[in-house]
Structure 1
Amino acid sequence: MIRQLALCAALAAGPALAQELSLPGGARQLTERISALDSYDLPVGVFTGNAVPARTIEGRIERRTWRVQAGSRTTLQVLAPLREQIEAQGYEILLDCEARQCGGFDFRFGTEVVPNPDMYVAIRDYRFVSAMRGDEALSLLVSRNPPDAYIQLIRVIPNGSDDHVPLVVTETASGSEGLLAELHRDGRAILDDLVFGSGAAALGEGQFASLATLAGLLDEDPKLRVALVGHTDDVGTLEGNIALSRRRAEAVRARLIEAHGVDGERIEARGVGYLAPRTSNSTAEGREANRRVEAVLLGSR
């Protein structure tokens, strides 16, 4: 379900060491701009009422953006693995905030953002992290424009540091390989590129890679069956949510039959409402993460 993209760069400690970051599946680089010598105002605090506190750093500046097929993933779900990896590589987090905490509109327009369409920022749905490792600075900005998420990375290598390794992108696994691995390992996987309207059961238009992969798996093994299980957040009654979650599972089942030619007798559609959450429903992001459809392998018939 996840395609891993490795971003390799040198640690400040020396050229023999390497930093590795993995972007989520479906990531496509939109832009890359490298300035041999420039300055960047690294945000180190939230908007204070008149400005975004920042530390001006001069040096080689690398600006990159990506678009990711986010599906039901929240901005936190996209950002968290990246944040964990930069911390593991020795970066000290200076600022870590979500849209409202950062300062919303004022923060977004008080910090550097690559212009649209190469970077999209929803004023109420973004997350920002800035970090330092020695004299090296790095910032990450993640936002969503469903079904996609956008990632911006700005990295500053200070003047006089000539031992860095350029940031490169290499593909190490495909989305289909990730989904298949998860299904074989756990017997279940979230079809996280699916898109439903708020409160709606109709599946959005488009080519959903997860469905093509699932159809391919069923085609390879005619004895396999699968249950599609719909899940919701906890807004509303249990009965209403179970009905909605089942209708969404049925919409996915219909798409597999109509668009991919899967035998309907090999696919069940079920709904469990809010009875099996992925995370807490106490936040908007948690509720969004809990709205999903999972595939469960049932084995041979």
Structure 2
Amino acid sequence: MLRLALAIAAALLIQAAPLPSLTTPAAAAAGDVTKSHDYPGVGRFKGSVITGYDVKDFDAATLQAAPFKDGQATDPRKIEGRIVRIAYRTGAGPSILEVSRNFESQLANAGFETLLACDVDVCGGIPFTEAIGVLPVPQMWVDGFDYRYYAGRKIENGHETYASVLVSKNNDDIVAQLTVAERDAMQNKMVDAAAMAKGLGESGHIALYGIYFDTDKATLKPESRPTLDQIAKLLSGQPELSVYIVGHTDSQGAPAHNLELSRRRAEAVAEDLVRSYKITRTRLNTAGVGFLAPIGSNATDAGRALNRRVELMQP
């Protein structure tokens, strides 16, 4: 009986012992992928590095709010809004459960209520992991036979936010992905030719957010076509109009690199207008000012999103 009592007391002490806190560094740690940082108020497990980072101002993410049954989802939650996915790698030492519990504790402190917390068998095995949107290898690894999953939700000031954490193992390393989905209506980023003409006439410039590039690249993405159509419509309707196309970035990364990247992005827009719409090249001046003309705070994700833009300016 004494041995049993001692064992129970030891178990209670382990349960009551505080979990190591997650760290919330102000700047990226050595080894983090470029232009990445922790989600505010959540942080990372000590000793982790960011191996994958993806932020979309508007996208969709599916979280599981209940275990699978017979290989099928029973309560999938598809959230549309701002989606943040951050993958971490932690060296050998901690367990999957320890890393997961730390994230769960931190999210609880941030106001999230638990929807689901489960391990392999309870979650639903391999089919469960296949229904979770994780970043690709080598950014994130998932062992379908060894993982833990958490999903939570909070409502604050009428704003609904979901979070999930998937923790697994790759050899001796612990890997984790934090996904945060901030439900919100899609912002209308389309600016038509009439709005462009009005902006140029009233203030001499207009910011365009419907022109898209991959991170750190100057190749136009197909989603840019509707906005390019409207720029071409504006220029075709006013043959005497010449414009400056000005590229802008946020402040993350080396200043000289950002200046060059913003210039190349402006050039990419001009080249497409000439090639696809037969706009005379002499009507299109280009410049890149990098981070030097912010309209939002580069200390926040929302501000950086405002600063990443292309502007039309009238000379």
TM-score, with normalisation over the residues of structure 1?
A: 0.47
Q: Name the structure where helix makes up a greater proportion of residues.
A: 2
Where relative contact order (Cα < 8 A, 6+ residues apart) is larger, the structure is 1
TM-score, with normalisation over the residues of structure 2?
A: 0.45
Q: Which has the larger radius of gyration?
A: 2
